[in-house]
């Protein structure tokens, strides 16, 4: 089974598949550090050669591990949300008066694909409040949310609905939230990827749709994703140390997800929502967000 057949949305896994264990891959730089108790892997794809080697667009990729959050230690949720919020804020580089459209992608009827729609319930939507109650909400950034669903239930491409919403509200930036696919069980439901290259809805399960990125929407697009599934053939390849015959891989058309995916998706959706709130609105506390979204 060739590496090109292994399905992953995570840039750090693409780097591993390319055989880069140090900064020796042309056009690719990476490093790691710890922030707010979160281990963070940072990778920059700087040239087209690097992009072709990895199969990822030129851009900035950040992968944060959720070990502390998953252990549910004291203050783990607030610290992780604040730390992720800082990473998102740095990647967006917004002005105080900037407006943002958040596209919550996925199918709410399929649990591993429901992170985006569930995230929408944890977001502070303020665009209408800024215009209706400027004295109370004038200091907030204008935030609007769209949940475009999926082609199979709407008959319309998700990207088309997001583009229509962006054309209506004219945001300064778009944040896309979606579920991803990993190649490793070790990272499944344990990491969050943040990148400035946008996203192609459905790409993680081989269902490539139109992309949401700066080229298609005309504004910066930051993508946030959590891996909730792994392709069975990719998993088998990983577990067998790369000995899975290519003929076998072609007949393995299944997706694997953890048994506790229901609780994880709910927790991850809340974490993503609160992280975005911290990123977009200054000087918030956890209690402030709880009060707003409850």
Model confidence pLDDT, tens digit, residues 134-161: 888 888 999 999 999 998 899 999 999 9
Q: Which pLDDT score, from 0 to 100, does residue 184 have?
A: 80
Question: pLDDT band at 174, cuts 50/70/90?
Answer: very high
Q: State the pLDDT at residue 55.
A: 86
Grade residue 233 by pLDDT with cuts at 50, 70 and 90. Answer: confident
Strand duo 173-182 + 99-104: pairing: parallel
Are the CB atoms for 189 and 181 separated by under 8 Å?
no
DSSP state for residue 225 in the 8-state scheme: E
Percent of the chain with pLDDT over 90: 58
Over residues 122-134, the mean pLDDT reads 93
β-partners of residue 176 are 103, 223
What is the band of 231 on the pLDDT scale with cuts at 50, 70, 90? confident
| pTM, rounded to two decimals | 0.90
The yes-or-no verdict on residue 217 having pLDDT over 50 is yes
Q: In the structure, what pLDDT confidence band is assigned to residue 245 with cuts at 50, 70 and 90?
A: low
Highest mean predicted confidence (pLDDT) among 67-76, 100-109, 205-214: 100-109
* Residue 236 pLDDT greater than 50, yes or no: yes
The mean pLDDT of 192-205, rounded to a whole number, is: 78
Higher pLDDT, 68 or 128: 128
Cβ atoms of residues 99 and 127 within 8 Å = yes
**Contact yes or no for 137/124 (Cβ under 8 A):** no
Residue 281: φ, ψ to 5°: -120, 125
Is the predicted pLDDT of residue 267 greater than 90, yes or no? yes
What percent of the chain has pLDDT above 70? 88
Domain parsing of the chain, residue ranges: 3-293
pLDDT value at 175 more than 60: yes
Q: Any idea which fold 3-293 has?
A: Rossmann fold (3.40.50)
Least confident of 29-38, 116-125, 244-253, 268-277: 244-253
pLDDT at 183 over 90: no
For residue 53, is pLDDT > 90? no
Q: How confident is the model at residue 248 (pLDDT cuts 50, 70, 90)?
A: low
Report CA Rg, the chain: 19
- Average pLDDT score, the chain: 87
User: Which pair of tokens denotes residue 25?
Assistant: 């891959």
Place of tokens 């792994």: 230
């Amino acid at each position: 089974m060739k590496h090109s057949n292994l399905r992953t949305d995570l840039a750090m896994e693409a780097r591993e598949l390319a055989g880069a264990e140090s900064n020796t891959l042309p056009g690719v730089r990476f490093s790691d550090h710890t922030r707010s108790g979160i281990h963070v892997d940072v990778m920059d794809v700087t040239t087209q050669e690097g992009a072709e080697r990895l199969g990822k667009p030129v851009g900035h990729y950040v992968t944060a591990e959720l070990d502390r959050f998953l252990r549910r230690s004291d203050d783990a949720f607030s610290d992780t949300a604040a730390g992720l919020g800082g990473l998102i804020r740095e990647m967006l580089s917004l002005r105080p008066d900037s407006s943002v459209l958040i596209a919550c992608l996925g199918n709410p009827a399929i649990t591993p694909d429901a992170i985006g729609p569930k995230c929408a319930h944890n977001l502070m939507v303020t665009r209408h409040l800024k215009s209706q109650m400027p004295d109370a909400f004038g200091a907030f950034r204008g935030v609007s949310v769209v949940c475009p669903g999926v082609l199979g239930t709407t008959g319309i491409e998700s990207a088309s609905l997001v583009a229509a919403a962006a054309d209506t509200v004219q945001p300064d930036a778009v944040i896309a939230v979606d579920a991803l696919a990993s190649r490793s069980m070790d990272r499944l439901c344990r990491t969050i990827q943040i990148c400035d290259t946008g996203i192609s809805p459905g790409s993680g399960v081989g269902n490539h749709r139109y992309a949401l990125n700066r080229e298609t929407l005309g504004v910066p697009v930051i993508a946030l994703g959590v891996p909730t599934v792994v392709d069975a053939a990719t998993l088998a390849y990983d577990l067998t140390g790369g000995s899975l015959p290519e003929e076998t891989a072609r007949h393995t058309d299944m997706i694997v997800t953890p048994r506790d995916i229901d609780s994880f998706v709910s927790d991850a959706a809340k974490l993503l929502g609160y992280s975005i709130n911290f990123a977009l609105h200054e000087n918030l506390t956890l209690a402030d967000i709880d009060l707003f979204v409850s």
